[in-house]
Amino acid sequence: MDVKIAAEWKALLEEEFAKPYFKELSTKVREEYLNGPVFPHPSKVFRAFELVSPTQVRVVILGQDPYHTPGVADGLAFSSLPDNPIPPSLQNMFKEIEEEFGIRCERSPDLTRWAKQGVLLLNASLSVRSGQANSHSDFGWHLFTDAAIAAISRKCEHVVFLLWGAFAGKKEELIDWTKHLVLKSPHPSPLSAHRGFFGNNHFKLANEYLAQHGRGEIDWR
């Protein structure tokens, strides 16, 4: 597996790349791509790490795994290719942002604009088989992305972690709450957004925290 990520990430996660599980993970993922449709495109598997270096990380938004519908996943959690319809969870994220700030979000599902501001849009699994959600969740991806979250917590200062839903909420154990802001709520999925995602004020709270610590605010539009 060709790991195309910023040199800073390679240095930070060097031990992970050398571990047996990562070598097994690489083999499994390579075989999956050879044997059938897998998303995202292999060139985009590590895209979240390509766009944001460790020193640039200001916010981490954690997803579970890439969209498993053909032509949707772009390598960033909750994001999609520019010409696609806005996925339902992202629609609800935009609704919450618009309510919090009284603005209108750009009607594009491509969240590269957030990543370029230091928002790490990280899925716990970085690949998925077509039509089968969580099909690569037992390949070893979670060990790798957990290591990345722990490394951010350890090496970075004043990062906001947005953990939505029960799965993401469990990652709080990897984070030093004395150094960072951890915000938890139900997931923005249409199945759960009305249980507490709407009205959580997370985007505004994130900006307030970043501003208080001299890290600037995110333009969430």
Indicate which residues carry an active-site annotation. Answer: 65
135 neighbors 68 (Cβ within 8 angstroms): yes
Cβ–Cβ under 8 Å, residues 153 and 179: yes
| Cβ–Cβ < 8 Å for 126, 66 | yes
- Where are any strands of DSSP class E within 113-218? 119-123, 128-129, 160-164, 181-185
Alpha-carbon gap, residue 202 to 206, rounded angstroms = 6
Name every residue whose Cβ is closer than 8 Å to that of residue 99 and which is 6 or more positions away in sequence.
198, 199
